[in-house]
Amino acid sequence: MVKTVTYSPAYTLVPTYECFNRCSYCNFRREPGEDDWMSLARGREILQSLRDGVGPQVTEILILSGEVHPQHPRRGLWFQRIFNLCQLALSLGFLPHTNVGPLSEGEMASLKTVNVSMGLMLEQVTPKLLETFHRHAPSKQPERRILQLELAGKLRIPFTTGLLLGIGETTKDCQNSLMEIARIHHRWGHIQEVILQPHRLGQRQESAVEAFQLPQLPEVVALARDILPPEVTLQIPPNLVETPEILLACLAAGAQDLGGIGPRDEVNPDYPHWQCQRLHEILQPAGWQLRSRLPVYPQWESWVSGKPRSQLERIRQKSCQG
């Protein structure tokens, strides 16, 4: 019997790489001043990349950003740029999915009007990481991330979250984090997918933290599948597992999705995405069929309204005609 694994044809836009957090394992952030994110030239660059750099199969535009402090004087301008990018993506026929760090309830409610889904990595709920890798990362306080997941449920936003693996957590820590996600989903029913993301070494990270031991990843997948409700999809980034054998073992353990696949992994730039042809060559001999999906899963489409709903219906209609 042929088994199905999904992915989202995606393109990532980054309003800014600047971030007030300093997670010592991060390969994404830039120092203030390194990224002139408010310049007109940067705005034109993003617009040009969206118009010219997106392949014909892409449906998802992922808006991914460094975090601006809630009390920063440019927080409003930063948020407006994110909102505008979502509007632009919709106007050009795409479906936005935004993941830009913790937001207020008002900010989330506003972005709901221009997104089909949103996301935020929980990472780990153990507070001990605030003494190590999150020492200089105020928004990584577990209660702040948990509140974001709760607000997304309250606002009926289809949501993606996940665990970061290999940053000093124990198996018990992973179990507690998964149980917290399950608790929140049982209350609100809005968690579409959980990413299990192994930390990989990168050129820009500041600390000497070692990479996650990849042979352990199928065990984490199995643990997550045992704890999370069956309707919550487990996602594995194939470019971070490095070998086909580990990828297939993760699928056998319960992973069902490979995430967004596009020209570049902005969070892990040292690890290029595996493109569809390579994935087909790995999956098909093992009995897996690769299928594209939209950034909102079918069971949550009824939560989408307004312009995102109209765009979703146009894409559905086009797909049926094709």
| Amino acid letter for position 259 | G
| Amino acid letter for position 80 | Q
Supply the range of the domain harboring residue 283: 3-321
Q: What is the CATH number of the domain that holds 196?
A: 3.20.20.70
pLDDT tens across 274-285, in order? 989 999 999 999
Q: Which residues pair with 292 in a beta bridge?
A: 7
Contact 11, 54 (CB under 8 A): yes
- What CA–CA distances, in Å, run from 318 to 89, 93, 176? 17, 11, 43
Overall number of domains in the chain: 1
Q: What are phi and psi of 87, to 5 degrees?
A: -60, -45
Q: Largest Cα–Cα distance in the chain?
A: 57
The pairing of strands 233-235 and 159-165 is unpaired
**Confidence category of residue 201, pLDDT binned at 50, 70, 90:** confident
pLDDT tens across 61-108, in order? 999 999 999 999 989 999 999 999 999 999 989 999 999 999 999 999
Between 84 and 44, the more confident residue is: 84
The H or E element that residue 253 is part of is helix 244-253
| Amino acid letter for position 24 | S
Tokens of 62: 């992922």
What does the pLDDT read at residue 263? 86
Contact 235, 196 (CB under 8 A): yes
**Confidence category of residue 53, pLDDT binned at 50, 70, 90:** low
